[in-house]
Amino acid sequence: MVKVKKMIAEAEHIDDARIREAELRQVRQKHFEARHPKIKEKYRKEDEHLRHELAELLKKAGFPSDLTDRLARWNPYDQNTSADFFDPEWMFGLQDGFDILIGNPPYINIESIDLNLKQTLFETYETCKGRTDIYIAFIKGMMKKLQPFGNLIFIIPYGFTNQRYASLLRELLAKRYFVREIMDTSNYHVFDTANVKNRILSITNCTNQEKTKIKIVKEQSDFEHGIFQEYTINQRVFLFCLRVEKLAQARTTNLSKSCTSISSRFN
Protein backbone atom coordinates (compact mmCIF):
# COMPACT_ATOMS: atom_id res chain seq x y z
CA MET A 1 0.00 0.00 0.00
CA VAL A 2 1.26 3.47 -0.88
CA LYS A 3 1.78 5.73 2.16
CA VAL A 4 1.97 9.28 0.83
CA LYS A 5 2.22 10.87 4.28
CA LYS A 6 5.29 8.78 5.03
CA MET A 7 6.84 9.73 1.69
CA ILE A 8 6.31 13.43 2.43
CA ALA A 9 7.85 13.06 5.90
CA GLU A 10 10.94 11.44 4.38
CA ALA A 11 11.33 13.93 1.52
CA GLU A 12 14.41 16.17 1.41
CA HIS A 13 12.27 19.19 0.60
CA ILE A 14 9.98 18.34 3.49
CA ASP A 15 8.76 21.89 4.14
CA ASP A 16 7.79 22.45 0.50
CA ALA A 17 6.11 19.04 0.34
CA ARG A 18 4.11 19.72 3.49
CA ILE A 19 3.05 23.11 2.16
CA ARG A 20 1.75 21.51 -1.05
CA GLU A 21 -0.04 18.85 0.97
CA ALA A 22 -1.73 21.49 3.14
CA GLU A 23 -2.71 23.48 0.05
CA LEU A 24 -4.23 20.36 -1.48
CA ARG A 25 -6.36 19.77 1.61
CA GLN A 26 -7.59 23.36 1.48
CA VAL A 27 -8.41 23.16 -2.23
CA ARG A 28 -10.38 19.94 -1.76
CA GLN A 29 -12.33 21.44 1.13
CA LYS A 30 -13.12 24.53 -0.95
CA HIS A 31 -14.20 22.30 -3.83
CA PHE A 32 -16.53 20.44 -1.49
CA GLU A 33 -18.08 23.69 -0.24
CA ALA A 34 -18.38 25.34 -3.68
CA ARG A 35 -21.85 25.46 -5.21
CA HIS A 36 -21.20 26.82 -8.70
CA PRO A 37 -19.84 24.44 -11.39
CA LYS A 38 -17.30 27.01 -12.64
CA ILE A 39 -15.89 27.48 -9.14
CA LYS A 40 -15.63 23.72 -8.70
CA GLU A 41 -13.81 23.48 -12.03
CA LYS A 42 -11.37 26.15 -10.87
CA TYR A 43 -10.48 24.13 -7.76
CA ARG A 44 -10.13 20.93 -9.78
CA LYS A 45 -7.50 22.61 -11.95
CA GLU A 46 -5.70 23.91 -8.85
CA ASP A 47 -5.78 20.40 -7.42
CA GLU A 48 -4.20 18.95 -10.56
CA HIS A 49 -1.47 21.61 -10.53
CA LEU A 50 -0.65 20.99 -6.86
CA ARG A 51 -0.59 17.21 -7.35
CA HIS A 52 2.03 17.57 -10.09
CA GLU A 53 4.10 19.98 -7.99
CA LEU A 54 4.05 17.59 -5.04
CA ALA A 55 4.96 14.67 -7.31
CA GLU A 56 7.98 16.61 -8.62
CA LEU A 57 9.15 17.37 -5.08
CA LEU A 58 8.91 13.70 -4.15
CA LYS A 59 10.72 12.72 -7.35
CA LYS A 60 13.57 15.10 -6.48
CA ALA A 61 13.71 13.48 -3.05
CA GLY A 62 14.57 10.18 -4.73
CA PHE A 63 11.24 8.40 -4.88
CA PRO A 64 10.63 6.32 -8.04
CA SER A 65 9.14 8.32 -10.91
CA ASP A 66 6.52 5.65 -11.65
CA LEU A 67 5.21 6.04 -8.09
CA THR A 68 5.21 9.84 -8.06
CA ASP A 69 3.57 9.90 -11.50
CA ARG A 70 0.77 7.70 -10.17
CA LEU A 71 0.15 10.20 -7.37
CA ALA A 72 -0.01 13.04 -9.88
CA ARG A 73 -2.38 11.15 -12.19
CA TRP A 74 -4.85 10.18 -9.48
CA ASN A 75 -7.90 12.42 -9.92
CA PRO A 76 -10.26 12.40 -6.92
CA TYR A 77 -13.01 14.01 -8.99
CA ASP A 78 -13.19 11.47 -11.82
CA GLN A 79 -15.67 8.73 -10.88
CA ASN A 80 -15.12 6.82 -14.13
CA THR A 81 -11.49 5.87 -13.54
CA SER A 82 -9.75 3.79 -10.90
CA ALA A 83 -6.42 4.23 -9.15
CA ASP A 84 -3.68 1.61 -9.26
CA PHE A 85 -2.79 2.29 -5.62
CA PHE A 86 -4.72 2.73 -2.37
CA ASP A 87 -3.99 5.09 0.50
CA PRO A 88 -7.17 5.99 2.46
CA GLU A 89 -5.48 8.75 4.45
CA TRP A 90 -4.15 10.48 1.34
CA MET A 91 -7.24 9.88 -0.78
CA PHE A 92 -9.99 10.46 1.77
CA GLY A 93 -8.35 11.95 4.86
CA LEU A 94 -9.12 8.81 6.87
CA GLN A 95 -6.72 7.37 9.42
CA ASP A 96 -8.96 4.98 11.33
CA GLY A 97 -11.15 3.46 8.64
CA PHE A 98 -14.47 4.04 6.88
CA ASP A 99 -17.92 4.35 8.42
CA ILE A 100 -19.48 2.69 5.38
CA LEU A 101 -18.23 0.88 2.28
CA ILE A 102 -20.64 0.23 -0.60
CA GLY A 103 -19.48 -1.59 -3.68
CA ASN A 104 -19.68 -4.21 -6.38
CA PRO A 105 -16.34 -6.07 -6.23
CA PRO A 106 -15.00 -7.83 -9.32
CA TYR A 107 -16.05 -11.45 -9.82
CA ILE A 108 -13.07 -13.34 -11.25
CA ASN A 109 -12.68 -17.07 -10.74
CA ILE A 110 -9.25 -18.25 -9.65
CA GLU A 111 -8.85 -20.21 -12.89
CA SER A 112 -8.96 -16.93 -14.83
CA ILE A 113 -6.32 -15.18 -12.70
CA ASP A 114 -2.64 -15.07 -13.66
CA LEU A 115 -0.22 -17.15 -11.62
CA ASN A 116 1.43 -14.28 -9.72
CA LEU A 117 -1.87 -12.79 -8.57
CA LYS A 118 -3.15 -16.25 -7.68
CA GLN A 119 -0.12 -16.85 -5.47
CA THR A 120 -0.55 -13.44 -3.82
CA LEU A 121 -4.19 -14.16 -3.00
CA PHE A 122 -3.40 -17.52 -1.43
CA GLU A 123 -0.48 -16.11 0.58
CA THR A 124 -2.22 -12.91 1.74
CA TYR A 125 -5.80 -13.98 2.43
CA GLU A 126 -6.42 -17.06 4.53
CA THR A 127 -10.02 -17.07 3.28
CA CYS A 128 -8.86 -17.74 -0.30
CA LYS A 129 -8.52 -21.48 -0.77
CA GLY A 130 -9.29 -23.98 -3.50
CA ARG A 131 -11.35 -22.69 -6.44
CA THR A 132 -11.78 -19.26 -4.91
CA ASP A 133 -12.86 -15.98 -6.49
CA ILE A 134 -11.19 -12.58 -6.24
CA TYR A 135 -14.27 -10.99 -4.63
CA ILE A 136 -13.58 -13.17 -1.55
CA ALA A 137 -10.31 -11.27 -1.08
CA PHE A 138 -12.10 -7.95 -1.59
CA ILE A 139 -14.58 -8.66 1.20
CA LYS A 140 -11.85 -9.85 3.58
CA GLY A 141 -9.61 -6.89 2.79
CA MET A 142 -12.33 -4.26 3.03
CA MET A 143 -13.56 -5.49 6.42
CA LYS A 144 -10.17 -4.36 7.77
CA LYS A 145 -10.83 -0.86 6.43
CA LEU A 146 -13.98 -0.32 8.51
CA GLN A 147 -14.26 1.72 11.68
CA PRO A 148 -15.67 -0.13 14.70
CA PHE A 149 -19.40 -0.50 13.97
CA GLY A 150 -18.75 0.53 10.37
CA ASN A 151 -20.83 -1.13 7.65
CA LEU A 152 -19.93 -2.94 4.44
CA ILE A 153 -22.59 -3.44 1.76
CA PHE A 154 -21.49 -5.45 -1.28
CA ILE A 155 -23.45 -6.92 -4.15
CA ILE A 156 -21.89 -10.32 -4.73
CA PRO A 157 -22.57 -13.59 -6.59
CA TYR A 158 -25.32 -15.86 -5.30
CA GLY A 159 -22.72 -18.61 -4.92
CA PHE A 160 -21.23 -16.91 -1.87
CA THR A 161 -23.77 -18.64 0.36
CA ASN A 162 -23.90 -22.04 -1.33
CA GLN A 163 -20.40 -22.79 -2.64
CA ARG A 164 -17.56 -24.48 -0.80
CA TYR A 165 -14.94 -21.97 -1.99
CA ALA A 166 -16.56 -19.26 0.20
CA SER A 167 -16.86 -21.39 3.35
CA LEU A 168 -13.77 -19.96 5.09
CA LEU A 169 -14.99 -16.40 4.61
CA ARG A 170 -18.50 -17.30 5.77
CA GLU A 171 -17.01 -18.84 8.89
CA LEU A 172 -14.89 -15.76 9.55
CA LEU A 173 -17.86 -13.42 9.16
CA ALA A 174 -20.11 -15.56 11.34
CA LYS A 175 -17.52 -15.69 14.13
CA ARG A 176 -16.11 -12.17 14.19
CA TYR A 177 -18.70 -9.86 12.64
CA PHE A 178 -22.40 -9.11 12.56
CA VAL A 179 -23.95 -10.38 9.33
CA ARG A 180 -26.77 -7.87 9.46
CA GLU A 181 -28.65 -8.75 6.30
CA ILE A 182 -28.60 -10.96 3.21
CA MET A 183 -30.84 -9.77 0.38
CA ASP A 184 -31.49 -12.47 -2.20
CA THR A 185 -32.07 -11.09 -5.70
CA SER A 186 -31.48 -14.38 -7.51
CA ASN A 187 -35.00 -14.51 -8.96
CA TYR A 188 -34.00 -11.93 -11.57
CA HIS A 189 -30.79 -10.56 -13.07
CA VAL A 190 -29.69 -7.36 -11.36
CA PHE A 191 -27.28 -6.63 -14.22
CA ASP A 192 -28.83 -6.86 -17.68
CA THR A 193 -25.54 -7.72 -19.38
CA ALA A 194 -24.43 -10.42 -16.93
CA ASN A 195 -25.68 -13.95 -16.33
CA VAL A 196 -24.60 -14.13 -12.70
CA LYS A 197 -27.26 -14.15 -9.99
CA ASN A 198 -26.67 -11.93 -7.00
CA ARG A 199 -27.13 -11.33 -3.32
CA ILE A 200 -26.56 -8.12 -1.39
CA LEU A 201 -24.52 -8.69 1.75
CA SER A 202 -24.59 -6.22 4.66
CA ILE A 203 -22.03 -6.66 7.45
CA THR A 204 -21.26 -4.56 10.53
CA ASN A 205 -17.81 -4.45 12.10
CA CYS A 206 -18.83 -5.57 15.57
CA THR A 207 -19.15 -8.84 17.43
CA ASN A 208 -21.74 -11.43 16.52
CA GLN A 209 -25.28 -10.17 17.18
CA GLU A 210 -26.74 -13.63 16.50
CA LYS A 211 -29.65 -12.58 14.28
CA THR A 212 -29.33 -12.17 10.51
CA LYS A 213 -32.18 -10.68 8.49
CA ILE A 214 -33.03 -12.44 5.22
CA LYS A 215 -34.85 -10.56 2.47
CA ILE A 216 -36.03 -12.29 -0.70
CA VAL A 217 -36.84 -10.21 -3.76
CA LYS A 218 -39.06 -12.15 -6.17
CA GLU A 219 -38.99 -9.66 -9.04
CA GLN A 220 -37.44 -6.33 -9.89
CA SER A 221 -40.58 -4.32 -9.13
CA ASP A 222 -40.53 -5.70 -5.57
CA PHE A 223 -36.99 -4.41 -5.19
CA GLU A 224 -37.91 -1.00 -6.56
CA HIS A 225 -40.91 -0.67 -4.23
CA GLY A 226 -39.26 -2.17 -1.17
CA ILE A 227 -41.54 -5.21 -1.04
CA PHE A 228 -39.74 -8.24 0.37
CA GLN A 229 -40.36 -11.63 1.85
CA GLU A 230 -38.52 -11.12 5.11
CA TYR A 231 -37.52 -13.18 8.14
CA THR A 232 -34.73 -13.56 10.68
CA ILE A 233 -32.37 -16.48 11.30
CA ASN A 234 -29.66 -17.26 13.79
CA GLN A 235 -26.36 -16.03 12.38
CA ARG A 236 -24.71 -19.40 12.92
CA VAL A 237 -27.21 -20.98 10.53
CA PHE A 238 -25.99 -18.57 7.85
CA LEU A 239 -22.75 -20.52 7.91
CA PHE A 240 -24.22 -23.96 7.27
CA CYS A 241 -27.77 -23.66 5.87
CA LEU A 242 -26.69 -22.16 2.61
CA ARG A 243 -29.54 -22.15 0.13
CA VAL A 244 -32.59 -19.93 0.45
CA GLU A 245 -34.94 -22.86 0.85
CA LYS A 246 -32.78 -24.21 3.68
CA LEU A 247 -32.65 -20.81 5.33
CA ALA A 248 -36.44 -20.67 5.17
CA GLN A 249 -36.62 -24.12 6.73
CA ALA A 250 -34.12 -23.15 9.41
CA ARG A 251 -36.33 -20.40 10.79
CA THR A 252 -39.07 -22.93 11.57
CA THR A 253 -36.84 -25.49 13.27
CA ASN A 254 -35.25 -25.65 16.68
CA LEU A 255 -32.04 -23.73 16.02
CA SER A 256 -30.34 -25.07 19.11
CA LYS A 257 -30.67 -28.59 17.69
CA SER A 258 -29.62 -27.43 14.23
CA CYS A 259 -26.42 -25.95 15.58
CA THR A 260 -25.48 -28.50 18.24
CA SER A 261 -23.10 -30.45 16.03
CA ILE A 262 -21.14 -27.37 15.03
CA SER A 263 -21.31 -25.22 18.17
CA SER A 264 -17.77 -26.18 19.16
CA ARG A 265 -16.45 -24.20 16.19
CA PHE A 266 -17.65 -21.00 17.85
CA ASN A 267 -16.09 -21.65 21.25
Tens digit of each residue's pLDDT (9 = 90 or more) over 180-226: 999 888 877 777 777 788 889 999 999 866 788 888 888 878 877 88
Q: What is the CATH number of domain 96-266?
A: 3.40.50.150
Q: By the 8 A CB rule, do 209 and 242 touch? A: no
Mean of the per-residue pLDDT values for the chain? 81
The pLDDT value given to residue 256: 38
b/e map of 50-82 (b: 16 or more CB within 10 Å)? bbbbbbbbbbebebeeeebeebbebeeeeeeee
Residues of the chain with CATH 3.40.50.150: 96-266
> Per residue in 63-116, pLDDT tens?
888 888 888 888 989 888 878 777 877 787 777 788 999 999 999 888 888 888
Does residue 47 have a pLDDT over 60? yes
The SS3 of residue 26 is helix
Q: How confident is the model at residue 10 (pLDDT cuts 50, 70, 90)?
A: low
Per-residue pLDDT at 243:
53
Q: How confident is the model at residue 3 (pLDDT cuts 50, 70, 90)?
A: low
Rounded to whole angstroms, the Cα distance separating 104 from 82 reads 14
Tell me how far the alpha carbon of residue 168 is from its chain's centroid: 18
Q: Which pairing describes strands 211-216 and 178-184: parallel, antiparallel, or unpaired?
A: parallel
CA dihedral 138, 144, 150, 152 (to 10 degrees): 10
